[in-house]
Chains A and B, each alone.
Chain A
Amino acid sequence: MTTTNQLSTQGLDLRYGERLVVGGLDLTLPGGAVTAIVGPNACGKSTLLRGLSRLLAPAAGTVTLDGADIHRMPARALALRMGLLPQQPVTPEAVTVEALVRLGRYPHQRLLSPWSAADQRAVDEALERTGTAALRDQPVDRLSGGQRQRAWIALALAQDTELLLLDEPTTFLDLRHQLDVLDLVAALHAEAGRTVVMVLHDLGQAARYADHMVVLKDGRLAAAGAPGEVLDADLVRSVFDVECRVIPDPETGTPLVVPKGTAARHTTAAASA
């Protein structure tokens, strides 16, 4: 098989103990594209990402990368192809930004191999790309939430993988920092053709930044496809239990979800519609 960096799942069940979190999932996440995974809280989005990145072994079914079962690949071999930004990672105390980002080179290093020029170049590039180069000597735990998130993204970039999984990269960031992170993801995809899979909460942002959308509900696949084809009022009602109108985003033309006014908060627009 060629390396198109296409992840897919076949009849995937993921469990925490006895509890089935993701069930019977057949998915294909197109290589070379940006995929957004969306769904209500506790629908299994993060669990799916852990399954896709080998951190959680399937209770049934398989996860394949370009046709090869990732759970049969050596951990290091997979880490050279796939990077992960976990949700809300906890930074070790007192570690500087550069020391954190350097750990991204771990899969590239052998037990006794010294720090190489290529390693340093990858770290410098990652710091540049994420705008954290000026912060390199700062302890990460003293940075703002947005800066800290960018430092962690830099770690994943230093890993230098063609496939990048991001678990809620924008949660707890203000709008400016959310857009910075998403624009960075879009640039990484556009320049190097990286495959990106990210869990997002904001449906409008998901529609704007993703080529492909996976909608989960209660651990099952509710819909998958291009945002323009998938995202409509019926889907939002059945998955999120929200009455809405879906209109074209005035900036991009991608679908934009506008919840309907409720009894407590009538809007003039709803009244005149």
Chain B
Amino acid sequence: MTLTYKAVVRRDARRTPGRGRLLAYGTTGLLVLLVLLTVSVSTGEMSTPASVALRALVGLGDPGDVLVVQEFRAPRAVAAIVAGAGLGAAGSVLQRLFRNPLASPDVMGVTGGASLGAVALLAAGASQLLIPVGALAGGLLAALLLGVFAWRSGLAVTRLVLTGLAVQAGLAAAVNLMIVRFPAELAGSALQWTTGSVYGRTWTEVWGAAAAVVLALAAALVTNRRLAVLDLGDDPAGALGLNTSAARLQLLLVAVALASLAAALAGPVTFVALAVPHIVRFLTGPPTAATLALAALTGAVLLLASDLVVQHLLPIEGLPVGAATATLGAPWLLVLMFRQSKPVRGSGA
């Protein structure tokens, strides 16, 4: 069951890691992110020159520009960055934890659960500040459902994916059901909770989730050492004094928190968490704490870039970013499944 993951990692490991490569990747990623952010705050219904937009971002210049940039464009961009970072890091932790290239919060149902939790709170009329809490509860519920249905002496890949997809489908249906019964003033947010979107985010929503994502990211980086020890296998890890069951549970909770908080901001966005770990491993090498940070950065770049594409490069108005990532994600998932069903050659050590 771990053959595919091993084969993938072994192939990607041919590119030796090296600090230089990690540094170059990180610097490039940050630069790209800054450029995308600048583009993001300078474009919209009407374009603003980058210099004007950046000044408006810190509150200088024409009050009209300041309002547009600070209250409409910036929160949307920050939401995409934070949600992307959370998804990228969550996917990295999950794929390493389950030694499975298909492990990802959207395949496992965590994203759907988080959306359901958020929608349920909204429908109950709770404050927007509480949405991350609802998302977290929903994500944990999905992880619990997955555990109940898929856990039979470990997690076989096929069962994990099939159960996860079923859980995801069930929870997404529940979301749709609730949205139908939404009061009219909330119907506009349906797009966010059915396909995933960062349209119309406000700072109220962004700050809470962003702070929580930063905390969860810090927890993921701090517990990364345990992930490395777990990689050795249960007996060697136990001999090093690690409580393997507790460590697995902690890491799973951190990953669920990251994915759920991302969903609190952007809804059920697919593909990002699935693809980012593969991209990072392909470009840098075997997983470390540094590659986990790079996965967060890559996720942020990917989601912000996708959001810019749906806003400006596609002829369809108002397409949610989740629709774009899902379009990319479906074939990607197929390729992974196809690769996994093929016999792996040269499995000997």
Q: A-side interface residues toward B, CB under 8 Å?
A: 50, 53-55, 74-80, 82-84, 86, 89-95, 99, 103-104, 106-107, 109, 111-112, 139, 141, 155, 159
With A93-B9, A93-B286, A94-B10 as contacts: A55 and B238 at CB distance below 8 Å: yes
Contacting pair A80 B239 (CB below 8 A)? no
B215 to A: closest C-beta gap in Å: 15
Q: B337 in the interface, Cβ–Cβ < 8 Å?
A: no
CA separation between A103 and B238, bound complex, in Å?
12
B residues less than 8 Å from A92 (CB atoms):
228, 231-232, 286
A119 to B: closest C-beta gap in Å: 12
A15 to B: closest C-beta gap in Å: 17
Contacting pair B286 A95 (CB below 8 A)? yes
CA separation between A253 and B2, bound complex, in Å?
49
Contacting pair B231 A95 (CB below 8 A)? yes
A53-B238, A55-B234 known; 4 new pairs, CB 8 Å cut-off, are A79-B239, A83-B239, A93-B10, A99-B228
- Contact of A106 (CB < 8 Å), options: B10, B229, B234: B229
Kindly report which residue of chain A lies nearest to residue B243, judged by CB atoms: A75
Contacting pair B6 A89 (CB below 8 A)? no
Q: B240 in the interface, Cβ–Cβ < 8 Å?
A: yes
With A89-B233, A93-B286, A109-B225 as contacts: A139 and B238 at CB distance below 8 Å: no
Contacting pair B232 A84 (CB below 8 A)? no
With A93-B9, A94-B12 as contacts: A112 and B222 at CB distance below 8 Å: yes
B residues less than 8 Å from A141 (CB atoms):
10, 349
A residues less than 8 Å from B52 (CB atoms):
none
Q: B125 in the interface, Cβ–Cβ < 8 Å?
A: no
Which of A80, A86, A99 has the largest number of chain B CB atoms within 10 A?
Answer: A86
Map CB proximity to A onto B208-229 as digits: 1 under 8 Å, 0 otherwise. Answer: 0000000000000010010011
- Contact of B235 (CB < 8 Å), options: A78, A79, A84, A104: A84
CA separation between A89 and B285, bound complex, in Å?
22
- Contact of B242 (CB < 8 Å), options: A75, A83, A104: A75
B residues less than 8 Å from A155 (CB atoms):
236
Within 8 A of A (CB), among B232-272: 232-236, 238-243
With A93-B286, A95-B286, A159-B240 as contacts: A86 and B235 at CB distance below 8 Å: yes
Q: B13 in the interface, Cβ–Cβ < 8 Å?
A: yes
A98 to B: closest C-beta gap in Å: 12
Contacting pair B13 A79 (CB below 8 A)? no
B1 to A: closest C-beta gap in Å: 13
B241 to A: closest C-beta gap in Å: 3
A30 to B: closest C-beta gap in Å: 21
Contacting pair A79 B231 (CB below 8 A)? no
CA separation between A111 and B242, bound complex, in Å?
12
B residues less than 8 Å from A75 (CB atoms):
238, 241-243
Contacting pair A80 B241 (CB below 8 A)? yes
B residues less than 8 Å from A95 (CB atoms):
231, 286
Kindly report which residue of chain B lies nearest to residue A145, judged by CB atoms: B349
CA separation between A55 and B245, bound complex, in Å?
12
B291 to A: closest C-beta gap in Å: 11
B residues less than 8 Å from A91 (CB atoms):
232, 349
Contacting pair A86 B240 (CB below 8 A)? no
Kindly report which residue of chain A lies nearest to residue B286, judged by CB atoms: A94
B residues less than 8 Å from A50 (CB atoms):
235
B residues less than 8 Å from A82 (CB atoms):
239
Contacting pair B9 A79 (CB below 8 A)? no
CA separation between A107 and B241, bound complex, in Å?
6
CA separation between A141 and B13, bound complex, in Å?
10
A residues less than 8 Å from B231 (CB atoms):
92, 95
CA separation between A78 and B238, bound complex, in Å?
10
- Contact of A103 (CB < 8 Å), options: B240, B243, B286, B349: B240
Within 8 A of A (CB), among B1-41: 6, 9-10, 12-13
With A93-B13, A93-B286, A141-B10 as contacts: A79 and B222 at CB distance below 8 Å: no
A226 to B: closest C-beta gap in Å: 28
- Contact of B236 (CB < 8 Å), options: A74, A89, A111, A139: A89
Which of B229, B236, B286 has the largest number of chain A CB atoms within 10 A?
Answer: B236
Contacting pair B225 A84 (CB below 8 A)? no
With A55-B239, A84-B236, A84-B239 as contacts: A106 and B286 at CB distance below 8 Å: no
CA separation between A5 and B177, bound complex, in Å?
65
A241 to B: closest C-beta gap in Å: 30
Q: Can you list 6 contacts pairing A with B, beta carbon distance less than 8 Å?
A: A50-B235, A55-B235, A75-B243, A82-B239, A83-B239, A91-B232
CA separation between A55 and B285, bound complex, in Å?
32
Contacting pair A78 B241 (CB below 8 A)? yes
Contacting pair A103 B229 (CB below 8 A)? yes
Contacting pair A54 B240 (CB below 8 A)? no
A residues less than 8 Å from B239 (CB atoms):
53, 55, 79, 82-84, 86
- Contact of A104 (CB < 8 Å), options: B222, B225, B240, B288: B240
A158 to B: closest C-beta gap in Å: 10
Q: Which 9 pairs of residues, A with B, have the shortest CB-CB distance?
A: A79-B241, A94-B13, A84-B239, A94-B286, A92-B231, A76-B241, A107-B241, A93-B9, A75-B241
A residues less than 8 Å from B288 (CB atoms):
99
Which of A50, A76, A78, A92 has the largest number of chain B CB atoms within 10 A?
Answer: A92
Kindly report which residue of chain B lies nearest to residue A102, judged by CB atoms: B228
